[in-house]
Chain A
């Protein structure tokens, strides 16, 4: 097997994947934190229904999710209306559409660890902060966020890694447009289809190594956090 060189197509797929995962993770931390806080704190009876909706992508076949996303993002769905704002016709088969899909698809991987961290913290630290005259906002920033840091770390890493690895949803709503929606997992599929085994092998091995490093790092970090905890 000849030593494969990264083609410009591959480089572009890597860049696109990293970009997609980074943007998705950032958005998820931003919107996932209030959701996780609410799920950890609320006493509303219907909160577990919300938690279930958030968790759905864990068990739904990606094609099912992808199908509904395609409908929603398409010209006759809300995504099409949104695209109309800047003169587009559809969000399907665009990078923006991929971001929206990834956010939904990876949400449970970010929300769950953060929610767990908030729950593990208990009510006490926030009560202590309140008795020390900290407003709820100050208490959240200075106590809840730092105490939930391991949850944020896990959530961010899982969210990023999971977005990097998504395939079915991307295939359904992203198409396979180089430089726009052709991410790594699709690129591998593509290489295999066109019998470019060397390049497929390189990317697949790279992603396996990436997954290995991610999980190993996370385990080590979690152990260290647990030890310094108390």
Chain B
């Protein structure tokens, strides 16, 4: 496989009483989520990366320098695609002319190279909209067209600034699967800004955490999710995303088996053909612990794991970071238990426990998350 290189980025500057001092270096592959509260400077980082805003700094993609002390490539010379929070379609052009606006005009991409109109139209399901005016599209349709328009400009880096935040819950759930397909099918790295961790749990491979204009952490999504020193793991909605591969399906019980690093997880719904990659979400509140392998229980997922770390959350609870497998070297899992249970079971670092997973959410290809209930 060709080495994708890195996205190397550093911007410092001050504008309107706000100081930005953000730097990170991430692999130029997959979806890189930039997460943080509103006003933490995520959008500014993205605008700087696009060349729409000029601050002092450095930016290179796979070794190609777009900005340094001596260089500043203006936005129209950067091979980027930018999806704004509002679709921002050109109101005077039809949908077709909108999505073709940035497409190279001389030479349409040859098969197997770049992204063609048919592919984008099919991927985003916008074929029936092509001859309409943007004014006659729904919010979700507009945003899909905007994504298609960005893709057809044959970008080497896709920048998405909260592309779903202006949409209502239902429309959002309708678009997420398109983004997931995009993620599976396209080789372009994506910087994806969001303040909704739920979106990033489903889409991101890598995560950059920002706070007050600074990057506080950057790393693989699952590593940051399970780092007890970071606010993600101790939040009420703490969860880990697990990348799984479908290994089998038992039609008699309607149970699919998926392999994750260091264990196996079953879910009571079809998950696709064997070999299909799926992403699972396991909330910290859905994992309880036992010191011995429980017998006679209705919980279908019981995974041996080792306690890697723990820390208090609030006065009466503890967050426990687990490594799947007898040796604890597998994927991380989070468990939030009461202080009483923690003391009662005398849990400690390095201990082998059995994680009972009460609920696993399968990031769906359908509209709403399917959730397994205690079987």
Identify the A interface with B (CB < 8 A): 124-125, 127-136, 139, 142-143, 146-147, 149, 228-230
Contact = CB atoms under 8 A, between A and B. Distances in A.
Contact of A131 (B90, B91, B150): B150
B149 interface: yes
Contacts of A132: 76, 101-102, 149-150, 153
Given A135-B76, A136-B76, A129 B88 contact: no
Interface in B36-85: 50-52, 74-77, 79-82, 84
Nearest to A147: B92
B76 A128 contact: no
A125 B90 contact: yes
Contacts of B79: 133
A199 B92 CA distance: 47
Q: Which 6 A-B pairs have the closest CB atoms?
A: A132-B102, A131-B82, A130-B75, A130-B76, A146-B92, A132-B153
Contacts of B75: 127, 130-131
A131 B50 contact: yes
Contacts of B51: 130
B323 to A, nearest CB: 42
Interface of B, secondary structure class, is: loop
A132 to B, nearest CB: 3
B84 A124 contact: yes
Given A134-B76, A135-B76, A128 B91 contact: no
B375 interface: no
Contact of A128 (B77, B84, B135): B84
A125 B88 CA distance: 7
A148 to B, nearest CB: 10
A26 to B, nearest CB: 24
Nearest to B81: A131
A121 to B, nearest CB: 10
B88 A130 contact: no
A126 to B, nearest CB: 10
Nearest to B79: A133
Contact of B76 (A133, A143, A229): A133
Interface residues of B, number: 24
Interface of B: 50-52, 74-77, 79-82, 84, 86, 88, 90-92, 101-102, 135, 149-150, 153, 159
A131 B52 contact: yes
Contacts of A133: 76-77, 79, 102, 153
20 contacts: A124-B88, A127-B82, A127-B84, A130-B74, A130-B76, A131-B52, A131-B75, A131-B76, A131-B81, A131-B82, A131-B159, A132-B101, A132-B150, A132-B153, A133-B102, A134-B76, A135-B76, A139-B76, A143-B90, A230-B91
A13 B237 CA distance: 80
Contacts of A149: 92
Contacts of B84: 124, 127-128
A139 to B, nearest CB: 8
Contacts of B86: 124
A127 B43 CA distance: 14
B92 A128 contact: no
Nearest to B52: A127
Contacts of A146: 92
Nearest to A134: B76
A230 B135 contact: yes
A128 B82 contact: yes
A134 B102 contact: yes
A128 B91 CA distance: 12
Contacts of B88: 124-125, 128
A220 to B, nearest CB: 20
A19 B149 CA distance: 46
Interface centre among A131, A146, A229, A230, by most chain B C-beta atoms within 10 angstroms, is A131
B322 to A, nearest CB: 43
A17 to B, nearest CB: 34
A228 B136 CA distance: 10
Contact of B101 (A124, A129, A135, A230): A129
Contacts of B153: 131-133
B64 to A, nearest CB: 16
A132 B102 CA distance: 5
Nearest to A122: B88
Given A127-B52, A131-B82, A134-B76, A147 B101 contact: no
A134 B201 CA distance: 34
Contacts of B82: 127-128, 131
Contacts of A147: 90-92
Contacts of B80: 131
B30 to A, nearest CB: 21
Contacts of B74: 130
Nearest to A230: B135
A201 B13 CA distance: 68
Contacts of B81: 131
Contacts of B102: 131-134
B110 to A, nearest CB: 19
Nearest to A229: B91
Nearest to A131: B82
Contacts of A142: 101
B188 to A, nearest CB: 14
B91 to A, nearest CB: 6
B43 to A, nearest CB: 12
A149 B159 CA distance: 31
Nearest to B89: A128
A149 B92 CA distance: 10
